[in-house]
Structures are given as structure tokens and as C-alpha cells.
Amino acid sequence: MKNQISQNVPRANLQLKQNVPKLSTRQIQDKTIQSSAKKFNEIVAVNERNIWSDLHAFPRGETTLGNYPHWDNHPACALLKKDIENGQADLMQPEMLHRTRDEYKAFPLHVFRGHIYQEKRRKREEPGWVIKRNKTAQKMHDDEVNAMKADWD
């Protein structure tokens, strides 16, 4: 009986090995990537839950540590954007602009001045980056076309 079992075991293993489909290298890579992506998504979900629970447990205060309101949701933020778009901010010094609206006075002058410069810089530099990006892309395209042309010649 022992001999029969020992003789049958190698055949059984051989039959199992023959039934297993052989995966290509690409399929193995795909499975590895899929499992890694699944693990990564699980980690991201846990981190996101932790962040939201922390935000809920520790909400942002009414004022900053400097004891003035948060800029991003204050009416002065939208008003300053309008003043910069209208060009009013270019016509006067930050101190004078600070005195023009009561909403601006909720912030100390040094903080308000920083927001003026930040908004002007955002308005000025955003189009510049677009132009630079387009010029760089055009140069890369031209180089690629010239290389292809040289290959054809």
C-alpha cells in the first residue's frame, strides 16, 4: 500500500504541474502591478479616512495664530482679486489700498500687503508659464521633426 501511494504521488504532482497555465513575463508584471495598485489604494483609503477624521476632530479655528481671520474664505480675498483685475491696486500703494475697504482692515497691513503681492504675482506669472511651456513644447516638436527628416534623408 505504501508503494502504491509513493508511486502515485509523483504522477499526481506531474499532472498538477501540467494543468497550471504558464504565464508570460508580461502577465506576471500585470499581476504584480495590479496587486501593488490594490495595496496602494488600500493605504490611500486608510490615510484619507485618518485625515478626514483629524479634520473633523480638530476643526480650523475662526482666526489664525496671529489672531486675524483666515484669508481664503474672507470677503476681502474676492474684493482684492476684483481690485487687482480692475487695475486699482496698481494705482496706489498697499497702505492706501488697505484703507479703501473695511474688509481689508480686518488684516494687519503687513499681512494684507503680502496678499496683494501674492495675487499680483499669480496674475502676472500664470500666463508667462503657459508661454514658456508652449515654447519648450514647440522646440521639442521641431527637434523631433528634424530628427525624423534626417532619418528619411
DSSP 34-53: HHHHHHHHHHHHHHHHHHHH
Question: pLDDT, tens digit, for every residue of 110-125?
Answer: 999 999 999 998 888 8
Q: In the structure, what pLDDT confidence band is assigned to residue 13 with cuts at 50, 70 and 90?
A: low
DSSP state letter for 23:
P
Tell me if 106 sits within 8 A of 69, measured CB to CB: yes
Sign of the dihedral through C-alpha 111, 114, 120, 124: negative
Q: What pLDDT is stored for residue 69 in this prediction?
A: 94
**pTM for the structure as a whole:** 0.55
Range in 6-20, 31-45, 73-87 with the lowest mean pLDDT: 6-20
pLDDT of residue 123: 85
pLDDT above 70: residue 20: no
* Length reported for the chain: 153
